[in-house]
């Protein structure tokens, strides 16, 4: 990402990428992410291949749901 050449590059890029999907219907977004995350065997490496496949999955995998 232009302008970020330090340790902030990756977290800023991931946050901006995930933000693009904030307009999805929340239930659909969660269903999409959980369907993919539930299909990945433990210890596997996941390659998303698309923006939703990368950023949505990272967002759901790396955050905690607060009830």
pLDDT of residue 59: 86
Q: Is 45 left (phi over 0), alpha (psi -120 to 50) or beta?
A: beta
pLDDT of residue 38: 92
Q: Name the band, by pLDDT with cuts 50, 70 and 90, for residue 34.
A: very high
* Count of CB atoms situated within 10 Å of the CB of 33: 19
- Domain segments of the chain: what residues? 9-61
- 67 has a pLDDT exceeding 60: no
pTM for this entry: 0.69
């Amino acid at each position: 990402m232009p302008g970020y050449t330090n340790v902030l590059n990756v977290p800023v890029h991931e946050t901006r990428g995930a933000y693009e999907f904030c307009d999805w219907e929340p239930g659909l977004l969660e269903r999409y992410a959980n369907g993919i995350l539930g299909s990945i065997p433990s210890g596997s490496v996941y390659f998303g291949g698309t923006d939703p496949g990368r950023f949505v999955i990272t967002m759901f995998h790396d955050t905690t749901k607060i009830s």
